[in-house]
Amino acid sequence: MADSTHLRILITGGAGFIGSHLCDRFLAEGHRVIAMDNFITGKQENLQQHHRNGRFQLIEHDVSQFIRCEGHLDLVLHFASPASPIDYLRHPIQTLKVGSLGTHNALGLALAKKARFMLASTSEVYGEPEQHPQTEQYAGNVDPIGLRGVYDEAKRFAEALTMAYHRVHGLDTRIVRIFNTYGPRMRLDDGRVVPNFIGQALRAEALTIYGDGSQTRSFQYIDDLIEGIIRLLAVDFVEPVNIGSTQEICITDFAEIVNQLTDNPGGLHYERDRRAPGDPQQRRPDVSRAKELLQWSPTVGLHEGLMETIAHFEQKMNSSSYAGATER
């Protein structure tokens, strides 16, 4: 993408964690970027560094409503959606709407503008996987009426709608299935394990582990995800592609690393009877497709990425905007 002609790009969810990092990357490459967000979970401060940039525009809009955008577009990246369990359980109907109506509106815009379209999907389409690691061909094991179904099924529907637009209208589409990603600009209170642990560690508290800690995750740093997205946009491939780390770690070991890196004396606290409903026991991608198709694999080690993330949260916790922030 860096070597291509400068593009005009719309990013829904552009003020979110991933969306704002995409804005950074595209603007650094000289492209024009329109970030669209309704700020349910996104934050304007994630984009404040671009407010004086003449190639950047921020539009407050709910993409579940019809999207109007003047002028041509080369790319439409649909990254709008609550993504943490706390957020999508707090906003279940909005999550379903942005995955269905929002995807429909974003696809319609891309079709009208003859733009390439990318859908941000998720590892949650695999549900509680019976295949490990998860390949793109695995159809998943999802409970459509469970609490997490509002997010899982919204993304599964979004993938189906994206493929329908490709097959029926010939729209140039991409689907990226994003696995656990962390880094600066995650919200301290978004309820996911990385900000939860780091926030507790920086307050010298015991790290709370729900369940027995044997559940596994594979954490990729935000820079690796952004690179994978950029490479996927540049190739001609319409089926889903997993982007994530293959370094699988159990939650107890991960907590120990966070305590070590923060010199936290608080230790660990297990709440064995409070594991979240539907929380998968294992999560690790098979990224063979990304390696072959994109020549992509993660390059940022866990310790390196965590140190960058810890420094970010330490700065935020010391600022007035995060004073008194608590975890849920």
Residues belonging to the active site? 151
Please list, in sequence order, all residues whose beta carbon lies within 8 angstroms of the beta carbon of residue 162, skipping any fewer than 6 positions away: 103, 107, 117, 119, 173, 175
Q: How distant is the alpha carbon of residue 123 from its chain centre?
A: 10
Q: How distant is the alpha carbon of residue 122 from its chain centre?
A: 7
Locus of tokens 């401060």: 45
208: three-class secondary structure by DSSP:
strand
DSSP 141: B
Radius of gyration of the chain (CA): 19
d(CA 151, CA 30): 34
For 248, phi then psi, to 5°, come to -85, 135
d(CA 75, CA 110): 7
d(CA 284, CA 70): 41
For 243, phi then psi, to 5°, come to -130, 115
- By the 8 A CB rule, do 37 and 15 touch? yes
- Of all residues in the chain, what percent are helix, strand and coil, respectively (each to 5)? 40, 20, 40
d(CA 38, CA 80): 9
Instruction: Return the biggest CA–CA distance within the chain.
Output: 58
